[in-house]
């Protein structure tokens, strides 16, 4: 993800790698704090990946920081309300499966 962000920003050196990596980790922790499933954060699909990149760009792209911050807030809100991304939703889905198995 680091290389993708560097490409988006037109960065062709390693001077900011540690800062960008810190922002990537911060994004992951922020998503975990709202209950996003760890497995999806550790192995992100395109929706999670886009949210992480948008979070990073809200810090890295100073001229468009507000745009990216607002976009990230909307993406995070969508993820928070989508049951397959949330730990509680995952637990509910598992309990439904168990009920179906028990009912057989």
Query: Using one digit for the tens of pLDDT, what is the confidence trace for 30-39?
Result: 999 999 999 9
Query: What CA–CA distance (Å, rounded) separates 85 from 92?
Result: 12
Interhelix angle 65-80/46-60, nearest 10 degrees: 150
Alpha-carbon distance of 96 to 92, in angstroms, equals 6
- 3-state class (DSSP) for residue 36: strand
* Total domains in the fold of the chain: 1
N-terminal to C-terminal alpha carbon distance within the chain: 44
Closest CA relative to residue 79, chosen from 103, 52, 100, 98: 52
What is the residue-level pLDDT of the chain in tens, covering all 104 positions?
Answer: 999 999 999 999 999 999 999 999 999 999 999 999 999 999 999 999 999 999 999 999 999 999 999 999 999 999 999 988 887 655 555 555 555 555 55
Verdict on whether the full-model pTM lies above 0.85: no
Residue numbers of the domain that contains 11: 2-103
């Amino acid at each position: 993800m680091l290389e993708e962000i560097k490409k988006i920003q037109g960065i062709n050196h390693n001077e900011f790698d540690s800062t960008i990596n810190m922002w990537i980790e911060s994004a992951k922790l922020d998503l975990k704090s709202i209950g996003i499933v760890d497995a999806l954060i550790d192995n992100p699909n395109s929706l999670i990946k886009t949210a992480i990149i948008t979070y990073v760009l809200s810090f890295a792209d100073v001229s468009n920081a507000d745009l990216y911050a607002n976009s990230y807030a909307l993406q995070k809100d969508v993820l928070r309300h989508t049951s397959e991304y949330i730990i509680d939703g995952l637990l509910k889905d598992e309990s439904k499966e168990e009920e179906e198995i028990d009912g057989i």
